[in-house]
A and B are shown apart, each in its own frame.
Chain A
Amino acid sequence: MRPLTEEETKTMFEKLSKYIGENIKLLVDRPDGTYCFRLHNDRVYYMSEKILKLATNISRDKLMSVGTCFGKFTKTKKFRLHITALDFLAPYAKFKVWVKPGAEQSFLYGNHVLKSGLGRITENTMQYQGVVVYSMADVPLGFGVAAKTTQECRRVDPMSIVVFHQADVGEFIRNEDALT
């Protein structure tokens, strides 16, 4: 476990800012203690200082997870957000998409959101903007990238994709082994 290098921090924050914009600040400076990012097994974990201190007791090969896993660095040094980061993306998300109850299931199985399943969308969403996907009951279901702007969404035909799927909570079941 080690702190992130400059480069890694930059890559990760760039990725994060696609979803939560300048709210990243809120993740780092928290009123309830110091929180930090740590790299372990190519994965980035977000934890409080207190937990970090205790986690140092555990040897590297025996440590499975600390705090919350945000994502991982691929072999090509790109950062990939995991669904486990949703808990921290959802409250700070700048752009949101709500899906209708009928389309919930489809999204949770890893499909893109179609116009027909689109319940609501934040105004002024740009194309390729990172968005968090909610159910109509305001339960965060995952995140993705807007395929169209809000204006375009109004006009397109019902079967066209409006949000590209990136991660959904269905992965907790589908993809448990690869979560961390």
Chain B
Amino acid sequence: MGRKLDPTNKVKRGPGKKARKQQGAETELAKFLTDEETGPKRLSSRGRKRAAKRVQKKSAAVTEEKPKKGFTDENSKWLKPAKRKRKIDEPEDADDSDEHWEEEDDDEEEEEELLQKKKDQGKKAGKVGVKKVEEEEEEEEEDDDDEEEEEEEEEEESDDDDEEMVDDYGTLDDGDEAAAEEEGDSDGEDLLPIERAAKKDKKLKEALDLESDDDEEDDDDDDDDDDDEQKSDADEDDTIQTNTDEGDKFRLPGAEESEKEGVMPLDLKTIHQRIKDNIDVLCNFSTKREPGKDRSEYLSLLKKDLCTYYSYNSFLMEKFMDLFPLSELVDFLEANEIHRPVTIRTNTLKTRRRDLAQALINRGVNLDPLGKWSKVGLVIYDSSVPVGATPEYLAGQYMLQGASSFLPVMALSPQEGELVLDMSSAPGGKTTYIAQLMRNTGVIVANDANADRLKSVVGNIHRLGVTNTVVSNYDGRQFPKVMGGFDRVLLDAPCSGTGVIAKDPAVKTSKDEADIRRSAHLQKELILAAIDSVNAESSSGGYLVYCTCSITVEENECVVDYALKKRNIKLVPTGLDFGTEGFTRFRERKFHPSLKLSRRFYPHSHNMDGFFVAKLKKFSNVIPTATAGKEDDGAEAPEATAATNPPEEKPTQSDKPKKTLVKEAGSSQQKTNGTAKVKSKGKKDSTAGPKKAKLAKLDGETAKKTEKPAGTKAVNETKATRTDKKARKNKTAMKAKNRMGKNKFKKLKHMLQKHDG
């Protein structure tokens, strides 16, 4: 009996799995030996690191030397634009160098010198090493021990000198001179006497090669230097190099060339070079231009190239080209490719910055104070833990917040015990900053139109221990009807986001004229609503801060200028000592001269998101008659002008005398208001709103015309007399309102005012 052997089901015999797993030492050894025989010595992990570092340094030294970017403030320390993340199809070396030029910007020259010295040393060492080898070969069998000692010594030496210790795989074809030296060197060091005999000839050959290599390397270095001068970042690209070497002038591509381009697009590197050359020509147009070519031709080519290279739509690129001088334009576009540093704001309601910094450092976060201008900001360089989920974060000791978001709140400078409105508050960063400046006193109304985004506001408020907040979900445009009489209002208006392209690259292609116009229109409605919510009589406040994360003029200066015309407000200094001034004129438009008190922030010059901040002071609660009837249709009135014919709107507004004399105009309006208002307001109930507005506007304009000759001096005078006038005016206004009991909204408004009083 017994079991039958099943021939179909053969059981394997012989050594099992485990037996196969372990290999004899001899196989390992064989590998090891061949390694040593063919390739140069394998370095320790530290050695490799050092070598990598050295190679990087070298490439950094070789790359172009960019001038240090001029920062306008003390942010320059940390605000150096970080390395660029964008990948272009450049060779890897070039990429490397690109990554590192910024960090080593400053001591690049020193580095280069050092490197040169080291190279020289390396050469010598290499030669010495070779000689030594030859000597040793003769006595190799005799004193193994001695030699080992020697080896150790040598190793120590090379440990001391970072540059000496390199790995050398494939460096020869790389053309890396020092590495080549090292090869000679290490060969001399690391070989066992037994191997040496076998490799005798080989080494001799190598030693010979070294000399010739050196020469070649020197040549290469020269080339590289040339590159530096030419500021060409594609140092590998021979064609470009030769082009610039010969001093070829930049030439516009002809019609047939551009046609060809349409069929077969150029590679990005060529385009990049062409952009550079083009800008160079445009900056020195009279000397470098090609005769017979128009500036507009150059510009259109530049625009096309920039659009391709940075993948913007042409509308947005046009906007940026209008906004920045050409020299800045590329900086700006480059800055949009990299992320801004992560910044956090200390919650002073719960901790102090020093304690927080210490706690975070203990968690392995690498940070620094943000800058002189902020006492609560910290900038995070890198972190071994997620900064948005540390126990400190959860305990509400800090808030993740962009550096640019500090600015509007600092400009607002809320005081303790005030009533503050944050009109579009999500996700609550600015709201909580306001609360912390007010030390949890007074009341903050945090509003946002989006209920979903309000959840984050509620979360952040509670996390940071803010207790003085009311969170509401209104459309900002309705706000003066809900409640008014705020001491300060922060309006962080929804915008096209052209300042935060680094955060959201979708903006590059998704925004067009209509988007900008739409958001500008919304902003105009919001700013009027915000102004109407401010109480001008507030003893401590009466301020409004308007800010956007957009840099287009339409969404910033235009909006503020519009508000200046429609309401009794004036611009005041923001209290921020850096940032560029707002435009007072832009292309065909001219704005009120006081707009230079507003501040603009750019990614390339301040290394924070593009931002606009303007601080306005309301000096009278009276709404000028030019906009009488607007209160009823506060939302519709701007719509009537802005929505139907936005392009026309600006030219009419930028009526020259009006512009320069807006203040007088405003005050004159008031003067006439004193008399005319009673009339017009009396009529108001009976006549239709828009008609009324037109009439009133006419009144205002005639009044302005009469005031015009008064000149700029009148401003001061009117200012001086303004206060007592204000009192009178308010009285009349109140009277007028009393008479208009029928109007429901008026009633409400009145009630509110009473309530405030």
Which residue in chain A gives the minimum CB-CB distance to B359?
A137
In the complex, which of the residues A87, A137, A140, A173 contacts B467, with contact meaning CB atoms closer than 8 Å?
Answer: A87
Q: Are A63 and B395 closer than 8 Å at their CB atoms?
A: no
Q: Are B395 and A169 closer than 8 Å at their CB atoms?
A: yes
In the complex, which of the residues B458, B465, B470 contacts A58, with contact meaning CB atoms closer than 8 Å?
Answer: B470
Interface window among B51-59, B299-307, B448-456, B626-634: B448-456
Say yes or no: A173-B389 contact (C-beta < 8 A), given A47-B467, A179-B455, A179-B462: yes
Q: Smallest distance from the beta carbon of B386 to chain A beta carbons, Å?
A: 10
Bound form: Cα–Cα A180–B455 in Å: 8
Say yes or no: A67-B472 contact (C-beta < 8 A), given A51-B443, A169-B395: no
Q: Are A172 and B462 closer than 8 Å at their CB atoms?
A: yes
Which of B395, B454, B461, B472 has the most chain A CB atoms inside 10 A of its CB?
B395
Residues of A close to B389: CB separation below 8 A: 173
CB-contacts of A43-102 with B (<8 A): 46-48, 50-51, 54-55, 57-58, 62-69, 83-84, 87
Residues of B close to A135: CB separation below 8 A: 391
Residues of A close to B467: CB separation below 8 A: 46-48, 67-68, 87
Q: Are A64 and B463 closer than 8 Å at their CB atoms?
A: no
Q: Smallest distance from the beta carbon of A49 to chain B beta carbons, Å?
A: 11
CB-contacts of B467-498 with A (<8 A): 467-474, 482-483
How many residues does chain B have at the interface if contact means C-beta atoms less than 8 Å apart? 33
Q: Are A139 and B473 closer than 8 Å at their CB atoms?
A: no
Q: Are A176 and B459 closer than 8 Å at their CB atoms?
A: yes
In the complex, which of the residues B394, B397, B443, B454 contacts A172, with contact meaning CB atoms closer than 8 Å?
Answer: B394
Q: Are A58 and B482 closer than 8 Å at their CB atoms?
A: yes
Q: Are A62 and B474 closer than 8 Å at their CB atoms?
A: yes
Q: Are A63 and B458 closer than 8 Å at their CB atoms?
A: no
CB-contacts of A153-178 with B (<8 A): 168-170, 172-173, 176-177
Q: Are A64 and B451 closer than 8 Å at their CB atoms?
A: yes
CB-contacts of B401-457 with A (<8 A): 419, 443, 445, 451, 454-457
In the complex, which of the residues A50, A64, A105, A140 contacts B472, with contact meaning CB atoms closer than 8 Å?
Answer: A64
Which residue in chain A gives the minimum CB-CB distance to B484?
A57
A108 at interface (Cβ–Cβ under 8 A)?
Answer: yes
Bound form: Cα–Cα A98–B278 in Å: 66
Which residue in chain A gives the minimum CB-CB distance to B397?
A139
Which of B463, B470, B471 has the most chain A CB atoms inside 10 A of its CB?
B470
**How many A-B contacts at CB < 8 Å in the complex?**
98
Residues of B close to A176: CB separation below 8 A: 455-456, 459
Q: Smallest distance from the beta carbon of A42 to chain B beta carbons, Å?
A: 15
Which residue in chain A gives the minimum CB-CB distance to B442?
A50
In the complex, which of the residues A62, A104, A105, A177 contacts B473, with contact meaning CB atoms closer than 8 Å?
Answer: A62
Which residue in chain A gives the minimum CB-CB distance to B465?
A87
Q: Are A54 and B483 closer than 8 Å at their CB atoms?
A: yes
A146 at interface (Cβ–Cβ under 8 A)?
Answer: no
CB-contacts of B361-398 with A (<8 A): 388-389, 391-392, 394-397
A118 at interface (Cβ–Cβ under 8 A)?
Answer: no
Q: Smallest distance from the beta carbon of A103 to chain B beta carbons, Å?
A: 11
Which residue in chain A gives the minimum CB-CB distance to B466?
A68
Residues of B close to A83: CB separation below 8 A: 462
Q: Smallest distance from the beta carbon of B479 to chain A beta carbons, Å?
A: 10
Which of A58, A64, A68 has the most chain B CB atoms inside 10 A of its CB?
A64
Q: Are A179 and B471 closer than 8 Å at their CB atoms?
A: no
Bound form: Cα–Cα A104–B463 in Å: 17
Q: Are B472 and A63 closer than 8 Å at their CB atoms?
A: yes
Residues of A close to B445: CB separation below 8 A: 54
Say yes or no: A66-B459 contact (C-beta < 8 A), given A87-B465, A135-B391, A139-B391: no
Residues of B close to A68: CB separation below 8 A: 462, 467
Which of B394, B463, B482 has the most chain A CB atoms inside 10 A of its CB?
B394
Residues of A close to B455: CB separation below 8 A: 176-177, 179-180
Bound form: Cα–Cα A51–B474 in Å: 18
Which residue in chain B gives the minimum CB-CB distance to A180?
B458
A141 at interface (Cβ–Cβ under 8 A)?
Answer: yes
In the complex, which of the residues B388, B395, B396, B470 contacts A55, with contact meaning CB atoms closer than 8 Å?
Answer: B470
Residues of B close to A64: CB separation below 8 A: 451, 454, 457-458, 471-473
Q: Are B483 and A57 closer than 8 Å at their CB atoms?
A: yes
Residues of A close to B395: CB separation below 8 A: 139-141, 169
Bound form: Cα–Cα A59–B142 in Å: 99
Residues of B close to A48: CB separation below 8 A: 467-468
Residues of B close to A108: CB separation below 8 A: 391, 394
Residues of B close to A62: CB separation below 8 A: 472-474, 482
Which residue in chain B gives the minimum CB-CB distance to A84?
B462
Q: Smallest distance from the beta carbon of B360 to chain A beta carbons, Å?
A: 12
Bound form: Cα–Cα A145–B231 in Å: 68
Residues of B close to A50: CB separation below 8 A: 443
Bound form: Cα–Cα A33–B555 in Å: 43
Say yes or no: A58-B394 contact (C-beta < 8 A), given A50-B443, A63-B470, A66-B471: no
Residues of B close to A55: CB separation below 8 A: 470
Bound form: Cα–Cα A83–B455 in Å: 15
CB-contacts of B91-115 with A (<8 A): none
Bound form: Cα–Cα A58–B624 in Å: 28
Which residue in chain A gives the minimum CB-CB distance to B355?
A137
Which of A65, A68, A87, A137 has the most chain B CB atoms inside 10 A of its CB?
A65
Q: Smallest distance from the beta carbon of A102 to chain B beta carbons, Å?
A: 12
Q: Are B394 and A179 closer than 8 Å at their CB atoms?
A: no
Which residue in chain B gives the minimum CB-CB distance to A68?
B467
Q: Are B470 and A179 closer than 8 Å at their CB atoms?
A: no
Residues of A close to B468: CB separation below 8 A: 48, 51, 67
Bound form: Cα–Cα A112–B11 in Å: 53
Q: Are A172 and B473 closer than 8 Å at their CB atoms?
A: no
Which residue in chain B gives the minimum CB-CB distance to A55?
B470
Bound form: Cα–Cα A133–B459 in Å: 20
Q: Smallest distance from the beta carbon of A172 to chain B beta carbons, Å?
A: 5
Q: Smallest distance from the beta carbon of B103 to chain A beta carbons, Å?
A: 33
In the complex, which of the residues A66, A170, A177 contacts B394, with contact meaning CB atoms closer than 8 Å?
Answer: A170
Additional pairs, 20, CB under 8 Å, beyond known A63-B470, A104-B391, A169-B395: A46-B467, A48-B468, A57-B483, A58-B472, A58-B483, A63-B473, A64-B451, A64-B454, A64-B472, A69-B458, A87-B465, A135-B391, A139-B392, A139-B397, A172-B396, A176-B456, A176-B459, A179-B458, A180-B458, A180-B462
Sorted nearest first, the 7 A-B pairs with minimum C-beta distance are A169-B394, A84-B462, A64-B471, A57-B483, A65-B471, A176-B459, A172-B463
Contact sample, A vs B, 14 pairs, CB 8 Å cutoff: A48-B468, A50-B443, A51-B468, A54-B419, A54-B445, A62-B473, A63-B473, A64-B457, A69-B458, A169-B391, A169-B395, A169-B396, A173-B394, A179-B458
